[in-house]
């Protein structure tokens, strides 16, 4: 059930449960002159940089680069396999090592050698490139198929029927970050040149009539495509590892999948809402048109959800991305220790 913070902010949680800094952030965004209808705040909203994490911002005539964030196209991919818990051995150590060998993880990690599918996807991205991205990050072509760091993860999960799913969280890696930082600075400089004062400098925007807007959209859509293909490439590698694991031979990869879902939760795209074409920025939210499939991950050790959209018009057909929190990272570090984590993860490979 949605509630109002004001006429320009609808929230899907109790208003008094939103941290004050996040409330102020929502109010700051709602005052921008190009906001369309209202801002939709998801149940997992919390303070973010540029815009509130867990917010859906529809705009006409401008876009806020920092509202998308620096991990452009970050999102989830999930595959339902044909296997069940009973098909797994007691130890998953070999499978974990196999996946870790196939998919580099960590800051700045690259592939030593690209697979045939990754090479094809890399060439597709090169063909679609509108700028010389090699000047931003020469290693981006070799980061396709790499996980990254932070809260990015690969997980084997069981559903309520004990069927095995693979769930993966990642985005556009270093190149998406660099593209975002580049255009955030461009927007901030443009605000200075236009003598536009903002409540938050990170709300600097690009008017649609300006060439800087078109440049950003080209780069943004490219980075979102990179993130989508990056998840596809990693999931293909996991499926290949699973096929070897279960069949001890190649050639069965396509036969083990039942369903595949790939969705962004940090992105912008043009959509039609309330009879008008608008830009919809989802920062920590997924698109959920009626019957559209999506993935809402849990935090480590908690359940994830495979969902179908209801097409709620007031949320601009959106749903939460599953990263709510009750405290900041610094607060968590004060309360929980590494020993607490190790105890919670006991028995998990």
Question: Which of the residues are catalytic?
Answer: 321
Report how far residue 234's alpha carbon sits from residue 148's, in angstroms, rounded to the nearest whole number. 11
Q: Encoding tokens for residue 131?
A: 């700028």
Report the alpha-carbon distance of residue 148 to residue 81 in Å, rounded. Answer: 24
How far does CA 301 lie from the centroid of its chain? 19
The answer to whether the beta carbons of residues 286 and 75 sit under 8 Å apart is yes
- Contact assessment for residue 45 and residue 11, using Cβ atoms and an 8 Å cutoff: yes
Strand order in the sheet with 75-84: 153-158, 163-170, 75-84, 257-264
Query: What is the rounded CA–CA span in Å between residue 269 and residue 278?
Result: 8
Distance of CA 75 to the CA centre of its chain: 3
DSSP annotation of 42: E
Q: Which two tokens stand for residue 15?
A: 């208003």
> Quick one: which H or E segment has residue 166?
strand 163-170
278-281: Cβ within 8 A, 24+ apart: 278/36, 278/58, 278/59, 278/60, 279/58, 279/59, 279/60, 279/63, 280/56, 280/57, 280/58, 280/59, 280/316, 281/51, 281/56, 281/57, 281/58, 281/59, 281/63, 281/64, 281/67, 281/68
């Amino acid at each position: 059930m949605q509630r109002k913070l004001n006429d320009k902010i609808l929230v899907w949680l109790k208003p008094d449960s939103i941290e004050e800094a996040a409330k102020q952030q929502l109010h700051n965004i709602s005052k921008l002159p190009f906001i369309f209808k209202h801002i939709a705040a998801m149940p997992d909203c919390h303070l973010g940089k540029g815009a509130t994490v867990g917010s859906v911002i529809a705009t006409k005539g401008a876009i806020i680069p920092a509202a998308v964030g620096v991990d452009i196209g970050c999102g989830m991919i999930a595959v339902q396999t044909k296997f069940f818990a009973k098909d797994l051995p007691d130890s998953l150590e070999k499978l974990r090592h196999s996946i870790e060998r196939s998919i580099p993880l960590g800051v700045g990690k690259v592939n030593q050698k690209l697979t045939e599918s990754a090479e094809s996807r890399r060439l597709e991205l090169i063909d679609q490139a509108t700028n010389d991205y090699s000047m931003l990050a020469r290693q981006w072509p070799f980061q396709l198929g790499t996980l990254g760091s932070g809260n990015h993860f690969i997980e084997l999960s069981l559903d309520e029927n004990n069927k095995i799913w693979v769930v993966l969280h990642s985005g556009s890696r270093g190149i998406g970050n660099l593209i975002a930082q580049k255009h955030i600075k461009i927007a901030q400089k443009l605000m200075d040149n236009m003598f536009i004062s903002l409540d938050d400098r990170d709300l600097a925007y690009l008017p649609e009539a300006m060439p800087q807007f078109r440049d950003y959209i080209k780069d943004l859509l490219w980075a979102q495509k990179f993130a989508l293909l990056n998840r596809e490439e990693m999931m293909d590698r996991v499926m290949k590892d699973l096929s070897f694991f279960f069949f001890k031979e190649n050639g069965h990869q396509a036969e083990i999948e039942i369903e595949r879902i790939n969705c962004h939760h940090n992105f912008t795209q043009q959509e039609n809402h309330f009879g008008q074409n608008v830009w919809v920025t989802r920062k920590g939210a997924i698109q959920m048109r009626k019957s559209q499939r999506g993935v809402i991950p849990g935090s480590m050790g908690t359940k994830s959800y495979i969902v179908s959209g209801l097409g709620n018009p007031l949320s601009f057909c959106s749903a939460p991305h599953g990263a709510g929190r009750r405290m900041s990272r610094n607060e968590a570090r004060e309360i929980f220790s590494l020993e607490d984590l190790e105890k919670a993860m006991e028995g998990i490979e």
